[in-house]
Amino acid sequence: MSGIARWCFRHRFIVIGGWLLLLAVLVGGVRAAGGAAFSEEYSLPGTESTRAAELMAAQSERASGDTGTIVLHATGGQVTDPAVRADVQAMLADVAEVPQVGAVAGPFGPEGAAQVSDGGETAYATVTFTEPRQSLDTGNIRRVVDLGSELRGDGLRVEFGGAVIGELESPSTSSSELIGLLAAAIVMLYAFGSLVAMAVPIIAAILALGGAILSIDLLTQVMSVPGTAPIIAAFIGLGVGIDYALFIVARYRNGLRSGLSPQEATVAAMNTSGRAVVFAGGTVAVAMLGLLMLGFSILSGIGLAAAIMVAFAVAVAVTLLPALFAVLGTRVLSRRQRARLKRAGPTEAQVSHGWARWAGFVQKRPVPLTIMATVLMVALVIPFFSMRLGSSDAGNNPADTTTRQAYDLLADGFGPGHNGPLLLVAEVRPRRPRPPSPGWDRRSGPFRGWRPCRSPRPHPTRRRGPCGSSPRHPRSRNRRRTSSTRCATA
């Protein structure tokens, strides 16, 4: 690591320019590729759900896409009132004409009786699209919502549910990332007492985050990556990026305070903290790549995206930070620390008195504290045995979203369980005529290839027996048996 640290320190502007050039290249590549192409398509080979989806896609192309729900709730009267019914039917007819809409199942037809609640206050229509939601044009989804929203009034509520409508409510992570960066900046400013020292880890994390997100966008062109992958990778990248940079910056500051030159402090920091960062980042990346072993494309995309983010965080920490140290020098120390260094000379890093007292307290009472820590961890594990796993649905959405309001209206109008139906798909094959029994021959009798026995001609001087020959004569009896056997085996 010392060789890398020295080279980056001496060629600081080349390193900084190289990272900026890499970002520019990635931005150009994403634009040339037409942007990101995230995909939510995944399959679980051999499962019932996969076979059902394949059967629907094969039999009905117009009904093989995702669905949305238009929920109608009458605040005064019933949705089956003639005036409301006429307006709803006209709206559904317009929805059926929207591009990429394959079918619309309204609540007022002969087959829609189950789509009206018992009291008549709530009803819903199902809109089936021709493509999965990730392949739909959001403009067409918005058009369906706009058509339904035109019916909203004092006496009728109209809400929209389903995975397709959820595409219009995709949350943005920009605010969450900004809050995380702000919180990290406040903590580091308090710990370092220097704006420059606080800015270095933030700059490293932002650069790693940007490069990794752009690389993930390019990755979507060659493999299936879900839309949640960059969100997960961003939070991982902010965590490890700031942590790795903070680890190295703290060691560099200690080197300066102990009297080392900026270059020597950089080399010392990279030989110690830098090695730990490489090892830790490699461990995290390998763990994320373990998702590839599961064989599910959606998890493979998430694992690879997270691994790319960690790789960028490590690369920035071991290359860009030495270059920034060369530019900033001793300014990563606060003014008070620099003045003390000039006045009193080098000083060894001192441990906080509070933490020193706590460490001494723990060392004097190892057994009781170990027991207490074990009891606490066991207590925290107890809820794990009552944990129920499942997929989130619209019931977890914010209360002000239309998908959550549609979810609540359906649950109130149709009862618990309506929002979690079990879809049954069956293939009805035409009945085939029952094949004839083995050996049946319509022309020659019940056994194929058998010829009916022909009675032998009677002997002109003998009395007839059962087959026209006399059973008394031995040769006649043998001839009859021979004739019957030959007929049966012919």
Which tokens belong to 390? 């499942």
Least confident range from 172-186, 227-241, 263-277, 468-482: namely: 468-482
Q: Identity (one letter) of the amino acid at 108?
A: F
**What share of the chain in percent tops pLDDT 90?**
17
Quick one: fold of 56-169?
Alpha-Beta Plaits (3.30.70)
pLDDT at residue number 471: 45
The residue extents of the domains of the chain are: 2-35+171-344, 56-169
Q: Identity (one letter) of the amino acid at 395?
A: G
pLDDT at residue number 242: 85
**What share of the chain in percent tops pLDDT 70?**
80
* Length of the chain, in residues: 490
Taking only the tens place, the pLDDT of each residue in 251-263 is 888 888 888 888 8
pLDDT at residue number 374: 95
pLDDT at residue number 63: 54
pLDDT at residue number 170: 57
Alpha carbon distance 116, 126 (integer Å): 12
Taking only the tens place, the pLDDT of each residue in 99-153 is 988 888 888 877 778 888 888 889 999 998 888 776 788 888 899 999 999 888 8
Partner residues linked to 129 by β-bridges: 101
pLDDT at residue number 428: 77
**Cα 236-241-243 angle, rounded to 5 deg:** 100
Partner residues linked to 103 by β-bridges: 128
Q: Enter the CATH code of domain 2-35+171-344.
A: 1.20.1640.10
Phi, psi of 379 (to 5 degrees): -65, -35
Residue that has been written with the tokens 């059962």 in this structure = 466
Closest CA to 235 of 187, 170, 305: 305
Question: Is residue 7 scored above 80 in pLDDT?
Answer: yes
Q: pLDDT class for 311, splitting at 50, 70, 90? A: very high
Average model confidence (pLDDT) for the chain? 79
Which tokens belong to 422? 């079990």
Q: Are 304 and 219 in contact (CB under 8 A)?
A: yes
Taking only the tens place, the pLDDT of each residue in 289-310 is 988 888 777 788 888 999 999 9
Least confident range from 9-18, 180-189, 339-348, 445-454: namely: 445-454
**Rg of the chain on CA atoms, in Å:** 39
User: What is the average per-residue pLDDT within 240-246?
Assistant: 86
What's the per-residue H, E or C state across the chain? CHHHHHHHHHCHHHHHHHHHHHHHHHHHHHHHCCCCCCCCCCCCCCCHHHHHHHHHHHHCHHHCCCEEEEEEEECCCCCCCHHHHHHHHHHHHHHHCCCCEEEEECCCCCCCHHHECCCCCEEEEEEEECCCHHHCCHHHHHHHHHHHHCCCCCCEEEEEECHHHHHHHCCCCHHHHHHHHHHHHHHHHHHHCCHHHHHHHHHHHHHHHHHHHHHHHHHCCCCCCCCCHHHHHHHHHHHHHHHHHHHHHHHHHHHHHCCCCHHHHHHHHHHHHHHHHHHHHHHHHHHHHHHHHHCCHHHHHHHHHHHHHHHHHHHHHHHHHHHHHHHHHHHHCCHHHHHHHHHHCCCCCCCCHHHHHHHHHHHHCHHHHHHHHHHHHHHHHHHHHHCCCCCCCHHHCCCCCHHHHHHHHHHHHHCCCCCCCCCCCCCCCCCCCCCCCCCCECCCECCCCCCCCCCCCCCCCCCCCCCCCCCCCHHHHHHHHHHHHHHHHC
